[in-house]
Amino acid sequence: MYIQVCNTFISLITNGTLQPSDLLPSSRILADLIGINRNTVKLAYEELISQGWAESIERKGVFVLSRLPVLSKNRLPEANKSNSPQEGFIWTNNFENATPAENLQQTLLAIDDGFPDVRLAPVDQLMREYRSLSRRFYRRNFLKYGSSKGSEHLRTAICNYLSNSRGLVVSAENILITKGSQMGIYLAAQLLLKPADNIAVGVSNYISADDTFRHSGANLLRIPVDLHGMDIDHLEELLQHKKIKALYVVPHHHFPTTVTMSMERRLKLLNLAKEYRFAIIEDDYDFDFHYDNKPYLPLASVDHNQHVIYIGSISKTFAPALRIGFMTGPSAFVEAASSLRQLIDKQGDTLLEEAFAVLFDNGEMDRHFRKSLKIYKQRRDYFCHLLKADFNDVIAFKTPEGGLGVWSNFDKKIDLIKMSEDALKKGLYIGNGNFYKNESFSTNALRMGFASLEESEMIKALGILKKILH
């Protein structure tokens, strides 16, 4: 209680109510005024004096320290002026127009962007390993600062995982663990791009990547995307009169349209990177979910000239809130990215990374991927069946070969913003399409995620949407 009294006096001094040399009430009077013990007030005054806010003058009392600078008293805002507080310093806000992140943690029913069903993730096993590790290493160096590249155990596990699933052979020293793929994109952009540099991206593209590249000062050169992925012939024409530092691409399931880049275009892209000496940032956020055939190998798996920076995410395949991703590329580049990562985030959550490593080692992650793949394929088929049956006249789409969402083109007469607002009033969250738009791409479409919905939830969600649209 004496600390509360002390802090209240400090507030009165710093807001200008009490000025230097002002006399404070005697301990007896203040104790009576606020109804506390006199000794408590004495302790508060002693604390004020010890902190340098007050001084005791014998036979006179306790005073606000006379040597303190005079502080002006806070004024109430005038009636005819804005009540918003004035900034206390000058700064540059480059994020006024940033798209706010979706908050689905408080949403009961949602047709999301295409996220995994967190109910399928073996979280209990993960937390069991987390608790086991925390007990086992309680008194060891394990809980001290570690490598900014992340847990060596997890890096080794991811090396094995990449080799077995993608044919990508890298060493643990050449892996950087990140907080999801977004951190990998940011680190790559900061190392590759300077103001006025050019980076090639899709006409339709992941808006958070676009924002990241713009934040670095780069110019975005848009490359068309069709049913076979990014148009590499168009890129080749562009390269004849424009120099680019890098190209960002999602070849496996392009964001947002979900199309897969053909192998012919992939190989041509690698040849162009070698000829024109630019980096390829390959975002492979959902490689594990491909349904109709074996997924194509990533660009990084067939890159023999060290042009590809490969970024992946476990968050997108396990649970979005558990931020684990990885980056690999040329050794010196990964080392530099690791050094940069230290400036914004000394290291990741070592215990969480170690727990994930155990799940990789004991086969739990592999079982999770196989189980999820089977369930998501069934959900994709049922979701597309419902779309064809009930929305054939207002939504055009192509059943995706992989990924967790359906790229859905709505009839031009439908106002997606109003649709989203009306759906929310009826208890359904669905996007309004603005997240996919940019200066070159503005279609009346959005991604409709199916993976996080059970069949009964699909029926309910699409039933609400059907009533709104019809």
List, for residues 171-228, the tens digit of each pLDDT value. Answer: 999 999 999 899 999 999 999 999 999 999 999 999 999 999 999 999 999 999 999 9
Both tokens of 196, joined, read 């006025």
Q: Which pLDDT value is given to residue 84?
A: 54
Q: Which of 112, 118, 2, 1 is nearest to 50 (CA)?
A: 2
Q: Tell me which H or E stretch contains 367.
A: helix 364-390
Q: Which pLDDT value is given to residue 141?
A: 65
pLDDT at 30 > cutoff 70: yes
Q: Which pLDDT value is given to residue 349?
A: 83
Backbone angles phi and psi of 157, in degrees to 5: -65, -40
In the chain the first and final C-alpha atoms are separated, in Å, by 63
Q: Which pLDDT value is given to residue 339?
A: 93
Q: Which pLDDT value is given to residue 295?
A: 80
Fill in the amino acid letter for 387.
L
- 256 upstream amide cis, omega within 30 of 0: yes
pLDDT interval class at 94 (50, 70, 90): confident
pLDDT at 244 > cutoff 80: yes
Q: Going from the N-terminus, what domains does the chain have, and what CATH number goes with each?
A: 2-64 (1.10.10.10), 110-117+367-469 (3.90.1150.10), 124-364 (3.40.640.10)
**Could you tell me which residue, 133 or 465, shows the higher pLDDT?**
465
Q: Which pLDDT value is given to residue 38?
A: 94
pLDDT at 127 > cutoff 70: yes
Cα angle value 129/117/283 (rounded, 5°):
85
Q: What is the C-alpha to C-alpha distance for residues 398 and 392, in angstroms, rounded to an integer?
A: 12
pLDDT interval class at 33 (50, 70, 90): very high
pLDDT at 34 > cutoff 70: yes
**Could you tell me which residue, 82 or 396, shows the higher pLDDT?**
396
Q: What is the C-alpha to C-alpha distance for residues 253 and 242, in angstroms, rounded to an integer?
A: 27
**Could you tell me which residue, 100 or 288, shows the higher pLDDT?**
288
Q: Which pLDDT value is given to residue 140?
A: 63
Q: What is the C-alpha to C-alpha distance for residues 58 and 205, in angstroms, rounded to an integer?
A: 74
pLDDT tens digits, 287-330: 888 888 778 899 999 998 999 999 998 887 888 778 889 999 99
Q: Which pLDDT value is given to residue 175?
A: 95
Q: Tell me which H or E stretch contains 326.
A: strand 325-328
Both tokens of 185, joined, read 């994109």
pLDDT tens digits, 387-435: 999 999 999 999 999 999 999 999 999 999 999 999 999 999 999 999 9
